[in-house]
Amino acid sequence: MDFPSILRAYKRCKAITVSLDDITPNPLQPRRFFDKDELFALASSIKSCGLIQPIAVKRIAANQSEAKYEIIAGERRWRACKMAGLDQVPCIVFETDQSGSALMALVENLQRSDLSFFEEALAMQTLLRLTEMPQSELAHSLSISQCTLSNKLRLLRLSERERLLATQNNFSERHCRALVRIDSEQERAPIIQTIISKGLSATETEKLIDSHLSKIGLTVSQNNNKKPMLKGKINNMKLLYNTLDKAVSMLNNSGLDARWDKKESGGTLVVTICVKK
pLDDT digits over 72-114, tens only?
888 888 999 999 999 999 998 887 776 666 667 666 666 555 6
Closest residue by Cα to residue 192 from 208, 215, 210: 208
pLDDT digits over 5-45, tens only?
544 554 566 788 999 989 998 877 666 677 788 888 889 98
User: Mean of the pLDDT values across residues 115-144?
Assistant: 80
Domain holding 75: CATH number? 3.90.1530.10
Q: Which has the higher per-residue pLDDT, 250 or 235? A: 250
Q: Are residues 189 and 133 in the same domain?
A: no
Q: Are residues 179 and 105 in the same domain?
A: no
Task: Give the pLDDT confidence score for residue 1 in this predicted structure.
Answer: 43
Give the separation between CA 138 and CA 143, rounded to whole angstroms.
Answer: 9
Asked if residue 229 is part of any domain, the answer here is no
Instruction: State how many domains the chain has.
Output: 3
- Is the pLDDT assigned to residue 225 strictly greater than 70? no
Q: Are residues 85 and 212 in the same domain?
A: no
Task: Give the pLDDT confidence score for residue 255 in this predicted structure.
Answer: 63
Q: Are residues 211 and 125 in the same domain?
A: no
Q: Is 198 exposed, middle or buried (0-12, 13-18, 19+ CB in 10 A)?
A: exposed
pTM score of the predicted model: 0.50
Q: Are residues 173 and 122 in the same domain?
A: no
- Is the pLDDT assigned to residue 119 strictly greater than 80? yes
Task: Give the pLDDT confidence score for residue 205 in this predicted structure.
Answer: 94
Q: Are residues 126 and 8 in the same domain?
A: yes
- Is the pLDDT assigned to residue 236 strictly greater than 70? no
Q: Are residues 133 and 172 in the same domain?
A: no
pLDDT digits over 145-199, tens only?
888 888 999 999 999 899 989 999 999 999 999 999 998 899 999 999 999 999 9
Asked if residue 27 is part of any domain, the answer here is yes
Q: Which has the higher per-residue pLDDT, 255 or 174? A: 174
Q: Are residues 21 and 84 in the same domain?
A: yes
Asked if residue 224 is part of any domain, the answer here is no
Give the separation between CA 29 and CA 104, rounded to whole angstroms.
Answer: 10
Q: Are residues 165 and 137 in the same domain?
A: no
Asked if residue 81 is part of any domain, the answer here is yes
Q: How far is CA 211 from CA 4, 30, 154, 231, in A?
A: 47, 35, 21, 19
User: Mean of the pLDDT values across residues 140-149?
Assistant: 81
Q: Are residues 7 and 132 in the same domain?
A: yes
Q: Which residues form the domain of 267? A: 237-276
Q: Are residues 113 and 201 in the same domain?
A: no
- Is the pLDDT assigned to residue 128 strictly greater than 90? no
Torsion sign, CA atoms 37, 42, 43, 48 = positive
Asked if residue 112 is part of any domain, the answer here is yes
Q: Are residues 163 and 207 in the same domain?
A: yes
